[in-house]
Amino acid sequence: MVDETKEITFALSKGRIFDETLPILRLVGMEPIENFTESRKLIIDTRMLNTKIVLIRATDVPTYVKYGAADFGIAGKDVLIEQGADGLYQPLDLGIAKCRMVVAASVEFDYEKAVKLGSRILVATKYPKIARSHFAAKGVHVNIIKLYGSMELAPLVGLSDVIVDLVSTGATLKANNLIEVEDIMPISARLVVNRTALTTKGSLLKPILKSVEDIVSGGSL
């Protein structure tokens, strides 16, 4: 029987976080032993003894780590703020998957004027909590429409006046005739750790966390 306390599970999402984490995993010696995309497996062993990776949706990472189904993982600051990060230990900003949370509008929509006039602004977003607190702090009245993807479409078809979304290069906004009208906050990916695991599996977990920290702070990426 496998002694659970001697195993480490790392939660990671496919896509850009995975791509940008791979170089770190290589340096830590925790590289997956199989190609995820080819194998379609959701649990994969790594080169480090008794250490495996579970591949899940980016928005599910905090949940797996919070309940201890994974001992640690990587989650975007956007996800951590939107869902709340109660009970999660966040020791490190990895400085990867960098982007910004912004308000964007169609080039035809006069955002400044709408704000000045005190109009109620329609906001489409995957991030209702972040959007609500941003506009509340500015004293702007909004109706929030929750979406699950392709936010850029909403202003183009009249579903909303503006969107609150992540941008990096701005190419997607530009391609859809949208412009950034307000910067909300910078976003990057963070290490999140289960607090109990830090105690019960500390002898295995802490050296890995230390190694990640050294790699990130040493600029060896």
* 74 makes contact with ligand ATP (CB under 6 A): no
Q: How far is the CB of 191 from ligand ATP (least distance, A)?
A: 13
Q: Which stretch binds ligand ATP (CB under 6 A): 74-82, 103-111, 153-161, 174-182?
A: 74-82
Closer Cβ to ligand ATP, 41 or 98, answer by number: 98
Closer Cβ to ligand ATP, 42 or 49, answer by number: 42
Q: Name the residue whose CB lies closest to ligand ATP.
A: 76
**How far is it, in rounded angstroms, from Cα 94 to Cα 213?**
8
* 76 makes contact with ligand ATP (CB under 6 A): yes
Six-digit token string for 137: 């702090």
| 161 conformational bin, left if phi > 0, alpha if psi -120 to 50, beta if neither | alpha
Binding mask 201-220 for ligand ATP (x = CB under 6 A): --------------------
**How far is it, in rounded angstroms, from Cα 61 to Cα 171?**
27
Which residues are CB-neighbours of 71 under 8 A, at least 6 positions away?
8, 9, 10, 65, 193, 194, 197, 201, 205
Which residues are CB-neighbours of 136 under 8 A, at least 6 positions away?
none
Question: Applying CB under 6 A, which of residues 94, 99, 105, 142 lies at the interface with ligand ATP?
Answer: 99
Question: Applying CB under 6 A, which of residues 38, 40, 117, 149 lies at the interface with ligand ATP?
Answer: 149
Binding mask 19-58 for ligand ATP (x = CB under 6 A): --------------------------------------xx
Q: How far is the CB of 207 from ligand ATP (least distance, A)?
A: 26
Across the chain, the runs of DSSP E, i.e. the strands, are 8-13, 43-45, 51-56, 72-76, 88-93, 99-106, 121-125, 142-146, 162-167, 178-187, 189-194
Radius of gyration of the chain (CA): 20
* 162 makes contact with ligand ATP (CB under 6 A): no
Q: Which residues bind ligand ATP (CB under 6 A)?
A: 13, 15-17, 57-59, 76, 78-79, 97-99, 149, 166, 168, 187, 189
